[in-house]
Amino acid sequence: MSLLTTYLVMLFDPRRAFTAALSRKVWTLLLPLTLAIVFTALLNIFYFYHVDLAWLRDQMTATMPKAQRDIALPFYTRGRLIGISLFGVVLLALVVNLGRAFIFWIIFKVRGGDTQRFTRLFAIVMWSTAPLALILPAGILNIMLAPEGRLAGNDVNPVSLNQLLFHLPPSSGWGQLLSTFSLINIWEMVLIAIGLQVVGNLKFTRAALIAIAPDALVYGIWAAALLASGST
């Protein structure tokens, strides 16, 4: 099975795909890492080229004092916004996924028994990003359907919890949290659980608990901070 075939098979037969992926050299995780960055970067570029830029700049500076707003508005050019977003895509792809793998590594260390190499855990995390291949066409369609190109960046993902259920405004703290968690995240956690089950010989329930640990930690802290601040 080729690397690209393994990536696609991950969407409908993850156990078979993980068996193939994890038997390869560790550098092969660069394929899903690269594709995760490329898919997200392409969606960001498409968004900034199709959004109503004047409307977006007004949204981004709406809460600023007038003097600060007058200084900030010229900075928000299409090119700068794309550049900042691409830097963020690369940084987040590395930091978030390395962080997930690190938490899994710590959990396996603490529980003892059959510990796992960090690189193998990172490979599981990266191969589990395969569902991002579907967010690109879904996000592009969502952008194209936005009336007059007026769509907040937080609302690009059409399967986020905020888009599907809550419909909170972009300025809402809870809306921002719910916009970053989507059906794709859930799918990825299921894939991670299957990958951990393959390499760790775990029951699925235990693998699933480990798989959700990083997101539970991050979103738990984020939600606690919103509650403490009284954010709406």
- Which tens digit of pLDDT belongs to each residue from 190-224? 999 999 999 988 899 999 999 999 999 999 999 99
pLDDT per residue over 120-166, tens digit each? 999 999 999 999 999 999 999 999 999 999 999 999 999 999 999 99
User: What's the mean per-residue pLDDT of the chain?
Assistant: 94
pTM comes to 0.93
Confidence class for position 114, pLDDT limits 50, 70, 90: low
Q: Whole-angstrom Cα distance, residue 55 to residue 51?
A: 8
Which three-class secondary structure state does DSSP give residue 160? strand
Looking at the predicted structure, is the pLDDT value of residue 174 above 90?
yes
Which three-class secondary structure state does DSSP give residue 169? coil
Which class for 223: exposed (0-12), middle (13-18), buried (19 or more C-beta within 10 A)? middle
- Both tokens of residue 206? 């235990």
Main-chain phi, psi angles of 65, to 5 degrees = -60, 155
DSSP state of 157: -
Q: Output the pLDDT for position 17.
A: 97
In the chain, DSSP assigns E strands to none
Q: Output the pLDDT for position 111.
A: 81
| Domain locations along the chain | 17-229
Looking at the predicted structure, is the pLDDT value of residue 26 above 70?
yes
Q: Whole-angstrom Cα distance, residue 55 to residue 59?
A: 6
